[in-house]
Each structure stands twice: as structure tokens, then as C-alpha cells.
Amino acid sequence: MLSDLAPQPADALLALIKLHRDDPRADKIDLGVGVYRTGQGDTPVFSAIKAAEARLVETQDSKAYLGPEGDMGFVRGLMPYIFGADDPTRGGRIDGMQAPGGTGAVRLAVALAKKAGVGRVWMGTPSWPNHAQIYADLDIEMKPFAHATKNGRADMDALRVAVGLAERGDAMLLHGCCHNPTGIDYAPAEWDEIAALVADKGLLPLLDLAYQGLGEGMEADAFGVRRVLDAVPEAIVAYSCDKNFGLYRDRVGAAYVMVDDAALLPAVMSNGYALARANWSMPPDHGAAAVRIVLEDADLTAQWLDELGTMRARMAKVRARLAEAGRIGAIDMAALGSQHGLFSMLPLSGEQIAALRADYGIYMAGSGRINIAGLTTGNIDAFIAALRAVAG
């Protein structure tokens, strides 16, 4: 039976990691998978996390199982940042559980939605390719609509049409901030409208918040999620700490559920625990425990927020420099200046992307997505020059 299985292509995005690693050119540029890099091109462990890990090693006296919900100190410690410090549980209507990274959280969110009867998920495209892979794997139908217009704005008309076509009981996946791959986020007034539309239509929002703090700040980046939660009775939030705590390979995430009636929350969460048990049983502990230690300690929290601020400021600088490049052929580089997060998309053809890789050692996703943080003062001019040569 196993020998009948057709070979599957490697995940295109993850394959870039290896392609770039194997390229011997010293001046190669990695704009592929979404990891933050410093101005020196490194992805160091946050010093707040290093300190928390040292404390964890020192004080942890057991590695016995915690249960499918994971480290609830971690899960609850994040809630004021996501849902607001005033009433993070919204009157006891929100609870969460740990998940293996953002992917685990999205998978849990979609599986829980399916278990609750959702058959279709509406989603602006392009999106993170793994969203569609997760829907396919869970056998849930995806209904795509355009996320962005040609001139680089959120395509609200397409979203309005999608909501018009959707049926009560469908879900809609929304990126909370730092849209992956376009960098094009909704403005506050657009979130107001989306929240009202989704609530009126009775759609279940699946909010994917994987980059909180990498856009405009921890509070500003939660605006959309909070606005939607204000408007609807129920929602699921998939959260990732992979980027904003730099814990990528440790797989640190959480899934949160908001219900209409607090009394029903334990029953809903019990379905989440059952799904976790059948998928991964329990999430990996180490990274989440380190985040909990950071969040429990005011000094470490301040240090973490400071490090996050440094990352944000560096990406803003890179975006400003890219925006100065103006127009390069069909590419309006100025638009990159107002986009958010690690990613932006360049309207490049497959041939142009291949030429950038073959002739200049520049690695980017096949969609034309670039990781802004892969650019440094040392390589940004070479990148712009290569773009001019290939696409200008």
C-alpha cells in the first residue's frame, strides 16, 4: 500500500531554506521563509528569552505531563496583550489552550470550527500557503476572494461581495495584522466595517494573529482582533509566539475560543482538548514555559518589549529605504513603505524570480513575497539594483 503513494513536492517555502543554504555565493540574499533578521543578518535568541530559559533550567523540577491544554500560565499570560488588559476574558467568555506553534493553533482552530459544523472557510487570497493546505487536509472547503487591489490596498469590495455570498454558519479567516504575504493590513475603519459585516451575516471569525508586535506595536496590532470580538458572539483566535518571541523552532502558539455564554466555555474547550489529544496529545513545553517566565516578570517583560521594538524599528527603516526606490518597472516600491510586518509582495513573473535567484543569489517565495527582514544596510542596495536589472 505504501509503495502506491505518489511522491509529494517539498513545501515550496520550506524548500527555500535548503536551496539558500546550499548556494555557495557569499553575497546571496535570503528573502524566503519568515524569520526576523538583525542588521547583521542573524536571527538571535531574544535576551529576555535567554534569561527566562536559564531560570527555567534552574527551577524546573519535573517534566511530567501537563495535559492537552499545555501551560495555562503561558496561555493566560498572553491574554491581556491579545484581548486587552481591562477584561481579557470578556466576562469569562474567552479561554485558550497551548498549541504547537501558529500552525498547530490554526489547525486546531479549523478542526474545532469543522467539529462545530462549519463546512466552508472564506479567506482573502493570496494568503499564507499553509492555510489552504490545512483546509485541504481537514477536508473543509475554501472560498477565496481577493485580499488586495492592484494598487496595493485591502480589497474591501471583494470582501463585501464574499460576505454577501457567504452563508450563516460559514467561517471567515482574517489575518489580525502583518498580512502574510502582502503586508497589506486593514485600516481601523475597515476593521469596523468587517466586524459589522461578519456579525450581521453570522459568520464564525477565525482570527490568525501570528505577528503581534511586528506591525505598529502590541496594542495597535490587536486592534482588528478586538474590534471583531466586540461585534460577534463567537470566534476563534490562532496565536503564534514564533515571531514575536523569536521561538520559531520551539513551536509556541495558542488557540483561544470566545463563546456567547460563559457557562458553555468548558464544553467547547473540552472539544479542543480532545482534538489536541488525537493530534499531538500535548504541546511541547519548553518555549511556552520561557514565555510564561518572561510575562510573569516585569523586568523581563520590559526587556522583551524593548527587543520587539528594536525589530519593528529596523523593519520600518528597511521599508522606508525600499519605498525611496520609487517605481521599478511595474513595481511600485513606494507602497512597501505603508505596509506592515515581515512581508510584502512584488509583482514579479516566475522568470524574473528565477533570474533573481540564478543571476543574483536572491531567494524569495515563488509568489514574489519578500521577507523585509532579510534586507540589511549591507545588501539592500544590491537588491534594489538587481530588481532594476531584472524588472526595471
Which candidate in 71, 170, 208, 221 is catalytic?
A: 208
128 touches ligand LMR by CB under 6 A: yes
Specify whether 208 is catalytic. yes
Binds ligand LMR (CB under 6 A): choice among 130, 271, 279, 301: 130
Task: Give the C-alpha separation, 71 to 125, whole Å.
Answer: 34
Cα distance from N-terminal residue to C-terminal residue, the chain: 52
13 touches ligand LMR by CB under 6 A: yes
Which residue has 526576523 as its cell numbers?
A: 36
Specify whether 299 is catalytic. no
Q: What are phi and psi of 120, to 5 degrees?
A: -140, 140
Residue nearest to ligand LMR (CB): 34
Task: Give the C-alpha separation, 310 to 34, whole Å.
Answer: 17
Which candidate in 128, 191, 221, 242 is catalytic?
A: 128
Nearer residue to ligand LMR within complex by CB, 130 or 271? 130
* Binding-site string for ligand LMR from residue 27 to residue 46, where x marks contact by CB under 6 A and - marks none: ------xx------------
Shortest distance (Å) from residue 209 CB to ligand LMR = 12
Q: Which of residues 178-217 bind ligand LMR (CB under 6 A)?
A: 180
Which residue has 464564525 as its cell numbers?
A: 204
Shortest distance (Å) from residue 130 CB to ligand LMR = 6
Q: Is the dihedral of CA 125, 19, 390, 337 positive or negative?
A: positive
238 touches ligand LMR by CB under 6 A: no
Specify whether 243 is catalytic. yes
Neighbours of 334 (CB within 10 A): 14
Which candidate in 170, 243, 250, 304 is catalytic?
A: 243
Shortest distance (Å) from residue 285 CB to ligand LMR = 20
Shortest distance (Å) from residue 344 CB to ligand LMR = 13
Which residue has 524569520 as its cell numbers?
A: 35
Q: Are 112 and 275 a contacting pair, CB within 8 Å?
A: yes
Q: Are 249 and 219 a contacting pair, CB within 8 Å?
A: no
Shortest distance (Å) from residue 31 CB to ligand LMR = 10
228's CB contacts (< 8 A; 6+ apart) are 174, 191, 194, 195, 198, 205, 207, 235
**Site residues, ligand LMR (CB under 6 A):** 13, 33-34, 128, 130, 180
Catalytic residues: 128, 208, 243
